Structures are given as C-alpha cells and as structure tokens.
Amino acid sequence: MTKPRNSALLLALALVLAFSGCDAARKARQTGTDLKDKAAKSVSGQAHADTIKIGAIFSVTGSASYLGEPEKKTAEMLEEQINAAGGVLGKKLDIIVYDDEGDEAKTQELAKKLLFEDQVLAVIGPSRSGNTMAIKDLMTQNKTVLISCAAAEAIVDPLSPWVFKVYQKDSFVARHILQHLKDSGITRIAMLYGNTGFGQEGFKQMKAFAPEFGVTIGYDAHYEPSATEGDFETLLTKVKADRSLQAVVNWSILPAQSIVPSKMKQLGLNLPLYHSHGFGNIQYARNAGGAAEGVIFPAGRLIVAYDLPDDHPQKNVLVNYRRAYEERYKEDISTFGGHAYDAIYILVNALEKAGVFDDKEALRKAVESVEFMGTGGMYRYSPEDHNGLGMDSLDLLTIRNGEFGLLNQ
C-alpha cells in the first residue's frame, strides 16, 4: 500500500506544480504585456502628463538682461493667465525658463538640458541672435520646434523646417531706414554697429539695400559690447571730421544706444541719428537724457499702443497685453517682452490647431500654417516663410518729450 500512496502523492504534487507553473507563466505574460503597454504609452514624454512642457531660454541676467528679463516676466504672466483660463487642450502649460546670461556656450548647454532631461515639446527664445544661431542646428537635428525671440535674418535664412522667429526681419528695418533717408534727401551716411550677430546682420542688410535707395555708406565701424565712452568718442570724432556725411545709423542692442546720442551731443555732431529696432526700450532714451530727442527708428507698435487709432487691427492686442504687464510689474513695457508674448501664443494656437500635445511633427506643421495677430504684427507663417511678417509690421517711431511716439503724428 505504501507504493500506491507515494504515487498518488507524487501525482497530486505534479498537478499542483503544473497549475502553479501555468499561473506563473500567465502572470509573466501579463507582466510582459503591461510593460510593453507602458513602454508604448511612454513613447512621448508628453503622452500622459498633466502638463505640456515648453522650454524657454532668455538672457535674464548679463549685458542683455533688458531683453531677457521682460521676456521671462511675460512668460510667467502668460503661463498663469493661460492656465487660469483652462490651459491648452485641457492640460496645464508648464513653461520651463532658463537664463543663458547672454553666453552662447551656456545656451547650448541649456538647450540640451531642455531636450534630453526636461523633454520639452518646443522651445522659445533665445533672446539674442548669436545665441539662437548657436542652437539652430541642434534644434533641427533633434526635430524640435524653436521660436526665436531674436532678430537676425540668418535665423530663418537659410530656412530650417524646425526654426522660426517672431522679431521683424532686419531687411525690413534696413529698408524703412533707407526709405526715410531717401525721402529726406540724405545720400551719404556713417554706419556704426555692435560686433554681435545682431549688429553684423544689420550692417549686412544696410549694405545690401543701400544702392537701391541711392544711399552710400561713406564710413562704417563696429565696436565691441565692452566699448567705453572713450571708444565712441573716437569713432564719432572721425564721423564729425568727414563733412560729406549727412546722418548716422547705429545698429545695436547694447548700452551703446544711449551712449551714441549722448556723445554726439557732447561733440556738437548735429546729424540725424537713426537706430535699429533694438531701440525699443524707453530706458535707452532716458539714459541718454535730452540727447535722445528726435532719434528715428523702425519698430513694432507695442510701445506706442495708446497712440494708435481705435480701429487699428492691432490695438486691442497691444493695449491688453501692455496694460496687464505694466499693472503686474509696475514698469514700462518694451518691445522685447512682446516677442515672448508672440512666441508663446503662436505655440498655443498651433497646439490647438494640431489638436495633439505629444507630436512634434504635427506641431511643426501647425506652426507653419499659423495666422495670428500678435504684438509684432499679423503673423502668416508658411513652409517658405518662418518669420511670417511683412513690411507693414513696422512703423517709424521717434523720441518726443522723452517718450516714444509715431514719427508722422
């Protein structure tokens, strides 16, 4: 009887092990399926997040802080406003802002951090042209939309399918200045420019278009970001010595914009002074004192929003943003914060148009078809045009009684 009992016991044990093995195999198969499902759901870092992560790189500190600080403040304000209104596609907008301090190498590091660690859907900024150019190839290679807040035309020419910008084209600015020179009977000018990506592009455009308007650049000189008042005195003394010169054009986003008019006044250099669209911060005029009176420069209309007629198509957008910013931060608006406003809302519009929040290619295509009235003008992007603005996005402005005003008003 012992042998049969042992056989029965062994058979029962075998059946238990068999059922256990089947259950373990089933669980293993289920676990494997779960892991595959989780992996599939995690293809995009945005897939099941409660937020849509957007990166931003601004020059919040350093020599270009007058660009980056209002951009950062605008991003913080808009993030709060958009989320309070329900977010985008039912999700909160999370704008991750980093400060590159104006340094191109740091811009590259921060862009990589946004792409590979934060896994953002898109990036806005940088503030400066050289910093944008430093990451243009990186963003293209990693197929991530970049909407730059900088000005240089080289940002979008040659065109990258992934890189856009909101600042008006340098060529538009140059042509506005040259047209006014021509209309004023000025044919020979001095051109000063900062030795930066922004300044170099400005000189390039002025030089290219000057012959079309019958204008000759009789003297040109660049200066470093660290240029002193003594350096400008030397340059402007040379300009004064050449009596054939009829006007001065200064293309810069540096404190030079305040120093040049001050030095011209000190030297008794009574020539018309033109600045680029980088002059769109009233602090430049205030730092120059009365010497900035009469400076002429092309710019967007944000800084003269209240002077526009009520039926102007931009007025509501400009006044609402300007009022919200100035009430919140107790400081004057500048055109630079407006670039962040436009970049953020272009992305929001594109996301809503695409109807998805986890597809970079769909977002890119949606940006290319955006039509949006922003602080810079009416944006109409296309596969061939990643700036989207026309010549009519600019007006000629001046300094009148220490404040910005429309030149022809």
Taking the C-alpha atoms of residue 255 and residue 6, their distance in angstroms, rounded to an integer, is 97
Q: Examine residue 402 and state whether it is found in any structural domain, yes or no.
A: no
| The pLDDT of residue 254 | 76
Q: Examine residue 36 and state whether it is found in any structural domain, yes or no.
A: no
Question: Nearest 5°: phi and psi at 128?
Answer: -110, 155
220, containing H or E segment: strand 216-223
pTM of the entire structure? 0.86
**Which residue, among 292, 329, 275, 272, has the nearest Cα to 72 in the 3D structure?**
329
Domain extent at residue 215 = 170-299
Q: Are residues 289 and 325 in the same domain?
A: no
Q: Are residues 73 and 190 in the same domain?
A: no
Q: Are residues 141 and 60 in the same domain?
A: yes
Q: Are residues 289 and 238 in the same domain?
A: yes
Q: Are residues 294 and 233 in the same domain?
A: yes
Partners of residue 144 on adjacent β-strands: none
Q: Examine residue 254 and state whether it is found in any structural domain, yes or no.
A: yes
Length of the chain counted residue by residue? 409
| The pLDDT of residue 48 | 53
DSSP assignment, residue 264? Answer: H
Tokens read off for 218: 């009789």
| The pLDDT of residue 255 | 85
Instruction: Give the chain's residues under pLDDT 70.
Output: 1-48
Taking the C-alpha atoms of residue 310 and residue 314, their distance in angstroms, rounded to an integer, is 9
| The pLDDT of residue 49 | 76
Tens-place pLDDT, residues 245-290: 999 999 998 789 999 999 999 999 999 999 999 999 999 999 998 9
DSSP assignment, residue 113? Answer: I
CATH number at residue 179: 3.40.50.2300
Q: Of 246, 265, 299, which closes a domain?
A: 299
Taking the C-alpha atoms of residue 231 and residue 73, their distance in angstroms, rounded to an integer, is 34
Q: Examine residue 397 and state whether it is found in any structural domain, yes or no.
A: no
Q: Are residues 282 and 207 in the same domain?
A: yes
Query: Do 403 and 295 meet the contact criterion of CB atoms below 8 Å apart?
Result: no
| The pLDDT of residue 87 | 97
Domains: count for the chain: 2
